[in-house]
Each structure stands twice: as structure tokens, then as C-alpha cells.
Structure 1
Amino acid sequence: MTLFFGNEIYRGSSYGDWHPLRVPRVSTVMDLARTLGWLPRERFRVSPRAKPAALHAWHTPDYVAALQRAEAEGTVDEDTKARHGLGTVSNPVFPEVYRRPATGAGASILAGELLAGGGRVHNPGGGTHHGMPDRANGFCYLNDCVFAILSLRRHGARRVAYVDIDAHHMDGVEHAFADDPDTLLISTHEEKRWPFTGALSDRGLGQVFNLPLPRGLNDDEMAQVRERLIVPAVARFAPDAIVMQCGADAVEEDPLSRLTLSNNAHMDVLRALLPLAPRFLLLGGGGYNPWSVGRLWTMGWGVLSGAEIPERLPPEAEAVLRALEWRGNRRGKAPPEHWFTTIRDRPRGGPVRAEVTDRIAALGARIRDMPAAA
């Protein structure tokens, strides 16, 4: 079973004209995958909206009610803003402020159920890893990553590995599972970047591996991270299920990070992880350049579903990318031609710096000390 979760709510929904999440993302992935012939009807599922009772498994009832009230009223009072982080610059009130995140959470919850017998699911509307139990945080109103792990557990996965290669640290997911020995948490993220958590020394009481990485991280350095940290740790943990958060903000063209990966680096991590567990859930995450996000997450679906990645996109797929706009960003004024004509970036290799290998080595010693699965 290989399924894709999508929903038309993402097509017309935006955090606002000035917000980084004003750009289309999930709708681009749906359109691009369809024009490539990768999304037949039998593999597509409409993402359901999670009900408040389901959301109470992680978020407080007061917060869920405040989120619903914010959508109904179109505003929040100062007390709600202070307590729940709603109506701020990062987490604005917009017309679908409850329904949109509840749709992403609903897909991750249902994915955990459908994966009970094994399989692969892509939920590009997921990956909102910053959400906290009682407040919105970092553009994330509900933490679908947490719900994915809880749902997989509820449907028979005893050990879950969560691998997060977003440019930003998975603070909300770590808050939920740092002390759980049956959840492996791996986060690679840019150092000295918001939320300024995820230090190399952080380990919780469970299996937590944080790897802050320097600016300018290239594909060859990420290959070292993959082969010496991510794959060995997941293989030793021997999970029943893997959740991979595939944030596209670690690629070179993203405006909110200073990492310089190509989308090949993300796909190489995905390919390496796929054989390591019978249940696999691929999530979206960060990513604020509409072309790089659409291309990366669509290629992720292609890898997940076994499609052949073309060297050049067919005219119908190219038209999807040429129709995108990125107002308010200088790169949107004159996009390079390959953003329209290809789905795979050129590799972005480079020297492997000692500061990268030294940090990997520090975590490698901890991998050897991990208790093997019973």
C-alpha cells in the first residue's frame, strides 16, 4: 500500500500576503504529481480534518477551543495571544487557522491507522514539528508529527523512529518524546537558528540525537550525516515504523536558512531509510520557495511510490511550475530556467569540514551505546 494524502484546502489557503507561508506548496505537489502520471485515483486520499477530541491527545482542550474560536471570530484578544501564541507575527489568525492544521493532523492520524499492516504514506501537508501542547509555535498550530507517532503506536508499532531533516530543530516533537525510550528522535538542523534548541549535548532520557550543522552545509557533508549517523542509528534501533519530516528549507534556494543542499540530499536520506521499517510515513515541513518545495516534495512522492524520475519535465508539468508566483522575493522576479524544466537539482557537493565530522563522531559514540532492540 502506497498512498498520498492531499486536500483542496491548501490551494486557496494562505497565512497572509506578507507571511513566508503565503506561497502554494501542497497544491503544487498535487498538480505536479498528477501531470507526471504519478498520482492515480486509487493512490490518492482526501486528508480528513481531525476532530477536537482527537486533538486532545496532545493539545490542551483550552488551546483547541481557542484555535476554533480564532477561526470563527477572525481575531483573538490579548489574553489568548499571550497564553496560546495566536495572532502573532509568526502565527497569525487567517481564515482557515483551525481547519488547515486540523487537516494536516487528520492525515497523519489516519496514516498511522492505515499503516497498521505495513506500507508507505506521503502527507506533504504534515511536518508541523514546532507546535506545543498549549500554544502555536513557529508557524505550527497543531503538531501532526506527534499525532503520527501516537497513531502508529495505537495501531501496533511498538518502536517508532522519527527523522527530521528540516533546517529548524524539532522542538515540539522532542518536547513530546524526549523521555520515551521506544521513540528514536534524530534532528539535523542549522546551528544558531530559531528556535535555538537542539544542542549536540541534549539527549533526554530516551533516544535523542540532535545534530546542529553549520551554514553552507553541502551534499557531501549531508552524505556523511546520512551514512554515519542517520542510517546506523535507525538500523540499530530497529523500528517498527519510521516517520520522516522532509522540510525543504534546507535547500540552497530557501529564504529562511543558510544551508546549501540540493534536493538530492533529501532523496538520498529517504532512499536509505525506506528499507529499514515496514511502515513509512513521509511528511512535509518547512520550505518557503514555491519551486524548490514543489519539486522536492513531488520527487519524494516519486521515490516513495517507485516512479522513474525524469531528467526533464514534460510540458504539462513544466506548465505547473511556470504558473507559480513568488511575490515579495527577489528570486521570484527572474527564476532560473531549471526551476521550471527539472525536478531534480544538480548535486551541490563540496569539502567535508572537520566541524561536521567531529559532531557526527560525537553522536556516533552514543549510537554504539544504544541498547539493541529486543
Structure 2
Amino acid sequence: MGVALYTHRACLDHVPGPGHPESPARLTAVLQALDDDRFATLERIEAPRATRAQLLRAHHAGHLAGVLDAPDVDGRRLDADTVMSTGSKEAALRAAGAVCAAVDRVMQGDTRRAFCAVRPPGHHATAQAVMGFCLFNNIAVGAMHALAEHGLARIAIVDFDVHHGNGTQDIFWSEARVLFASTHQSPLYPGSGSARERGVGNIINAPLPPGTGSAGFRAAMTDLVLPAVDAFAPQLVLVSAGFDAHRLDPLANLDLDSDDYAWITRRLVELAERHAQGRIVSTLEGGYSLTALRETVAVHVTELLHGCDPD
């Protein structure tokens, strides 16, 4: 059992428009980084479409209608930041479908870990609205799928994107079977993620001030996030893998480097080995420096591969 890579070329066809930071070039950079001999053992799998039934576990019917049932046109603006093109519906279905398929694969024991190289990202989409470049909340759809189809009692979602995953928090606010833990810059878009936001005791927020570097990030993970996940003893670990806390990223002001992403991935692998039979599904969220994205995805997947290479 190794590591599966889920992606689909349709995810390149979501084109928000010239100058938009969430561009197809992001996924191209990720796939280029993984097209290397170091990653030859990855099992590369075409992401399926999410079904409406899968999406409806995390989103209201009106939300689906607003995204899927409107005319296919370029430049359809759904909010100030979120724009659809003629390829966006298919991309969004494949992005959410990738996480569901990856969950199935790790739960069935066909692979131990998976990385979903997909876009658009998802963690800002709430149960009822698109937001912040996100159409469907891919990680939430996958977590709901794991609860419904695999009967899990404890799932941990760890989100290290520089922006708070407000949509994921919204969807699981009252769901005690899911622990949501996030490190993120504050103040910063979307303005949520205070340490006081606790849900039913299942929400762990570790806001970081602008300028925070490796020491502050690792302290927040070591002192707050990782102990909470460890105590929760998840049967599955899901990762909202945003790489925009890197010092090169143009949309935020944290000061992490590639070693920090290797370090946190290694810690999450250890937790998954301890509690979840090694089961991890990670999916791409933010990251808007192409240079940093190539480097950080490469170290993230390298750590996911550790111990999974065939003999």
C-alpha cells in the first residue's frame, strides 16, 4: 500500500480570469513538481465527479443549484472573489469527487495515504454559499462521505492554510464526530478563526499574528493543535493543505519555509499511524507563489510517501 495521487485535467479548465490569483498555473506548478523520479511510486488516479448526493451532505440544495444549474458562461461572478468560467462546474465536481474517492481508497485499505491535486480550493465554501475562490467545500464533502459511508466516529481535519477555513468550521460547528483544527494568520481574510470559536468543543483555532515564522507556527502546532488531535484519536486524518503561509506568498504575511511543511506533515503522519492505521487524505487549498507551491507540495508529498515506498 502506497500513496495515491488524485487529479483531473478538468481542474485546469476553471479559469477565473486574467490576473486572478487562483489560476490554472497553480495546478500546473503542482503537477510539474510531482512529475519527478522521486514520485515515481505515486499511484496516479483520475478523480471522479462528486455526486449530488455526496455534495448535499455538506451543502444546501440552493447552493448546488447556484453553482451547477446556472448557464455555463465565462466571467460569472458569484461574489467579490469567486468567478466561474465554462469549465468551472466540471472542475468543482472533480475536486470534491477526488476527496471522496481518496477517502474510499484509504478506508478500503487499497492505499494508506492520498494527495488530491485539485482546484478550485474548498475550505471557505460554507453550507450555503460560495466564498473566497471556493465553490464546494472539498474537504467537508469528503469528511461527510466518510461519516456516512464508512461509519466513522472520529475524523480530524487539520487546516494549515494561511487563511482560516471558515466554511469547514461552519459545516462542522455542531458535529462532535469531526474535530476541526486550524492555524492561520490573523487578522486576515475572512476575519474568522478566533481562539474563542469552539463549536461544541470540536473546533481548535490557533490564530497567528502577521510575521510569524517557523518558531511560532511550530509552537502553535506543538502546544495546541497536535495535542488536541492526539487526544481525539481520529480514525481518519484529513488535511486542508494550503501552502500560502510560505514567506514568498503574495496574499499573506507569515514567514514559513518548506521545512515547516515537511515538519507538520511528518507530525500528522505520526498521528495517523498512532490512531488511524496510517490513513491520511490531503487536498490542495491555497498557495499563490508558484515557486513556493512547487517546493512545498514536493516536501509534503515526500513526507506522505515516507514509509509507503514499495520494497
Common topology (TM > 0.5): yes
Q: Which residue of 1 is the match for residue 123 of structure 2?
A: 129
TM superposition outliers: structure 1 runs of 4+ over 6 Å: none
Q: Which residue of 2 is the match for residue 333 of structure 1?
A: none
Offset, 1:55: 1.6
Could you tell which deviates more after superposition, 15-24 or 26-35?
Answer: 26-35
Structure having greater relative contact order (Cα 8 Å, sep ≥ 6)? 2
1:285-305 deviation digits (Å, cap 9, x = unpaired): 111111211221122112111
**Residue of 135, 139, 154 corresponding to 2:133:** 139
- State the secondary structure of the residue aligned to 1:114: helix
Offset, 1:25: 2.1
Cα separation, 1, equivalents of 2:88 and 2:71: 6
Q: Give the letter for the 1:176 counterpart.
A: I
Q: Give the letter for the 1:206 counterpart.
A: G
* Higher alpha-carbon Rg: 1
Q: Which residue of 1 is the match for residue 285 of structure 2?
A: 285
Q: What is the TM-score of this pair, normalised by structure 1?
A: 0.75
Cα separation, 2, equivalents of 1:138 and 1:222: 23
Q: Give the letter for the 1:58 counterpart.
A: A
Q: Which residue of 1 is the match for residue 182 of structure 2?
A: 187
Q: Give the letter for the 2:50 counterpart.
A: A
Q: Which residue of 2 is the match for residue 246 of structure 1?
A: 241
Structure 1 unpaired stretches of 5+: 77-85, 309-374
Offset, 1:134: 2.3
Change (3 A) 1:25 1:73: closer
Q: Which residue of 1 is the match for residue 78 of structure 2?
A: 87
Offset, 1:147: 1.0
Q: Give the letter for the 1:14 counterpart.
A: V
Alignment of 1:151-230 (within 5 A): 151-153=145-147, 154-230=149-225
1:48-107 deviation digits (Å, cap 9, x = unpaired): 12133322222222322221234524465xxxxxxxxx4333011212221111111000
Q: Indicate if the aligned counterparts of 1:71 and 1:97 stay in contact, CA closer than 8 A.
A: no
Offset, 1:143: 0.4
Q: Give the letter for the 1:144 counterpart.
A: N
Cα separation, 2, equivalents of 1:237 and 1:54: 25
CA RMSD of aligned residues (A): 2.0
- State the secondary structure of the residue aligned to 1:209: strand
Q: What is the TM-score of this pair, normalised by structure 2?
A: 0.89
- State the secondary structure of the residue aligned to 1:282: strand
Structure 2 unpaired stretches of 5+: none
Cα separation, 2, equivalents of 1:11 and 1:140: 15
Cα separation, 2, equivalents of 1:307 and 1:112: 19
Cα separation, 2, equivalents of 1:205 and 1:187: 16
Q: Give the letter for the 1:125 counterpart.
A: V
Q: Indicate if the aligned counterparts of 1:171 and 1:197 stay in contact, CA closer than 8 A.
A: yes
Work out the percentage of aligned pairs sharing the same amino acid. 25
For this pair of structures, how many residues does the alignment match?
Answer: 298
Cα separation, 1, equivalents of 2:82 and 2:212: 28
Q: Indicate if the aligned counterparts of 1:246 and 1:266 stay in contact, CA closer than 8 A.
A: no
